[in-house]
């Protein structure tokens, strides 16, 4: 047993981090927020950036090498999406990674595919104006839809960079042949990976601010009350990381549920604590903290809510389907 990252995995993570730091730095993030607000709706995605991500192999990660992919597995996909979450990169990334082999043009970044969980109520669809095609996933089946074939109602999204629409009808369209439980499980896991990245970012931002902001003639990070907030943020990150990485290796349904549960908690609570550490600054639009929190809230409701995760784990416990 060696749970640690291999050299290749480490290099992959570092490479993605560097790519995103160069192509989607904070200024780009804030410019995207401003642009979307100014446009008052419409698409969010920067298609040129999307193609660059595709060129870097973002969406073809899981495709076999024979199909032009990297032939990597879920552990690698998790590392990539963790970095995307850490950079607050917007867009239907999970759909991109999971649908690259099924929807034309997705692997190359030419077309954007979306995934919509029709089993949740309300059924929300992310990035309605950005998607060229949507896979609507019901409880046990999935359907392939053209975006204009879906009747929707607008929803003003909590997250300034993740527009939402509400599906008005039940799922319809051409059947999409897929192993639906697996598709759902992978969507849960990859969403958890993004949450982990968000939790890491919140921790980093809090520690950086605590080391630099001074009150009472000392950095606020020298006060225990602040230190202990930060320490618990790290504890949440490390616990969630262990759970998410392990679930990516085992793909065990209960373990995936637990990983999402703990990653959601880490993302949301770390963003909250990060806000507290920032004081009044944390309550401003200008600071990035609210973007972290809002994205975390959004993802916490995506694919598996806390209630659903805990019920699934309880059921696994009762049926002996979870082991330590």
Partner 1 sequence: MDLTYTDEEEDFRARLRAWLREVLPKLPDRPAATDWPGRRAYDTAWQRLLYDAGYAGLHWPADAGGRGATPTQHLIFLEETERAGAPYVGANFVGLLHAGPTIAAEGTAGQRARWLPPILRGEEIWCQGFSEPDAGSDLAALRTKAVRDGDAYVVSGSKTWTSHAEVADWCELLVRTDPEAPRRRGISWLAMPMDAPGITVRPLRTLTGTAEFAEVFLDEVRVPVANRIGAEHDGWRVTMVTLSFERGTAFVGEVVACHRVLVALARKARDNGRWDDPVLRRRLGHLAAEFAALWRLTQWNVSEAQHRGGVPGAGGSVFKLRYSHARQELYDAAAEVLGAGSLDADHEWFADRLSALSYTIAAGTSQIQQNIVAERLLGLPKGR
Query: In angstroms, rounded to a whole number, what is the distance separating the alpha carbons of residues 22 and 217?
Result: 36
Of 57, 75, 109, 171, the one binding partner 1 (CB under 8 A) is 75
Yes or no: say if 157 and 298 are a contact pair by the CB < 8 Å rule: yes
CA distances from 167 to 12, 17, 128, 291 (A): 37, 35, 10, 25
* Smallest distance from partner 1 to CB 205, Å: 12
User: How far apart are CB 140 and partner 1 at their closest, in Å?
Assistant: 23
C-alpha pair distances (Å), 295 with each of 134, 135, 260, 267:
21, 22, 15, 9
Q: Are 322 and 270 in contact (CB under 8 A)?
A: no
106 CB neighbour count, 10 Å cutoff:
25
Answer yes or no whether residue 120 interacts with partner 1 by CB under 8 A: no
Q: Which stretch binds partner 1 (CB under 8 A): 30-38, 83-91, 159-167, 214-222?
A: 214-222
Q: Is there binding between residue 70 and partner 1 (CB under 8 A)?
A: no
- Closer residue to partner 1 in complex, CB, 300/322: 322
Tell which one of 123, 243, 274, 300 touches partner 1 (CB under 8 A): 243
Q: Which is it for strands 214-215 and 174-176: parallel, antiparallel or unpaired?
A: unpaired
Cα dihedral 143, 185, 54, 107 in deg (nearest 10): -40
CB of 8 closer than 8 Å to CB of 79:
no
Scan residues 184-213 and list those touching partner 1 (CB under 8 A). 203, 207, 210-211
- Under the binding rule (CB under 8 A), the answer on residue 81 touching partner 1 is no
Residue 115 phi/psi, 5-degree rounding, is: -120, 135
Total binding residues toward partner 1, as defined by CB under 8 A: 59
* Piece of the chain touching partner 1 by CB under 8 A; list 91-99, 109-117, 185-193, 258-266: 258-266
280 vs 320, beta carbon nearer partner 1: 320
Tokens 């993802």 sit on residue: 299
147 binds partner 1 (CB under 8 A): no
> Using the 8-state DSSP alphabet, how is residue 165 labeled?
E
The residue range among 63-71, 109-117, 149-157, 311-319 that interacts with partner 1, by the rule CB under 8 A, is: 311-319
- Give phi and psi for 153, each to the nearest 5: -120, 140
Residue (281 or 315) nearer to partner 1, CB = 315
Residue ranges that bind partner 1, judged by CB under 8 A: 1-6, 9, 75, 203, 207, 210-211, 218-219, 221-224, 226-228, 230-232, 234-235, 238-243, 245-246, 248-250, 254-255, 257-259, 261-262, 307, 309-318, 320, 322-324
């Amino acid at each position: 047993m060696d749970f640690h990252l291999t050299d290749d995995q480490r290099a992959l993570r570092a490479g993605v981090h560097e790519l995103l730091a160069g192509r989607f730095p904070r200024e780009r993030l804030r410019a995207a927020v401003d642009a979307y607000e100014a446009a008052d709706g419409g698409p969010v995605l920067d298609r040129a950036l999307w193609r660059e991500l595709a060129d870097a192999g973002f969406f073809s990660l899981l495709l076999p090498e024979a199909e032009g992919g990297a032939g990597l597995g879920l552990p690698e996909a998790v590392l990539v999406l963790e970095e995307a979450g850490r950079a607050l990169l917007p867009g239907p990334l999970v759909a991109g990674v999971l649908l690259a082999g099924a929807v034309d043009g997705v692997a190359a970044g030419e077309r954007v595919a979306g995934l919509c969980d029709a089993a949740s109520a309300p059924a929300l669809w992310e990035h309605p104006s950005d998607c060229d095609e949507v896979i609507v996933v019901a409880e046990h089946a999935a359907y392939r839809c053209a975006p204009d074939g879906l009747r929707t109602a607008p929803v003003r999204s909590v997250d300034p960079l993740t527009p939402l629409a509400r599906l008005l009808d039940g799922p319809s369209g051409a059947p999409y042949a897929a192993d639906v439980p697996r598709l759902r499980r992978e969507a849960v896991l990859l969403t958890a990976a993004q949450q982990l990245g968000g939790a890491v970012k919140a921790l980093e931002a809090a520690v950086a601010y605590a080391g630099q902001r001074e009150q009472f003639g000392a950095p606020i990070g020298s006060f225990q009350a602040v230190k202990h907030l930060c320490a618990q943020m790290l504890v949440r990150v490390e616990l969630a990381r262990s759970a998410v990485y392990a679930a990516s290796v085992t793909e065990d349904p209960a373990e995936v549920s637990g990983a999402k549960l703990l990653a959601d908690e880490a993302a949301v609570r770390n963003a909250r604590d990060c806000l507290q550490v920032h004081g009044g600054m944390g309550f401003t639009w200008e600071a990035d903290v609210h973007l972290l929190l809002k994205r975390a809230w959004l993802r916490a409701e995506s694919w598996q809510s806390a209630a659903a995760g805990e019920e699934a784990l309880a059921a696994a416990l009762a049926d002996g389907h979870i082991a330590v």
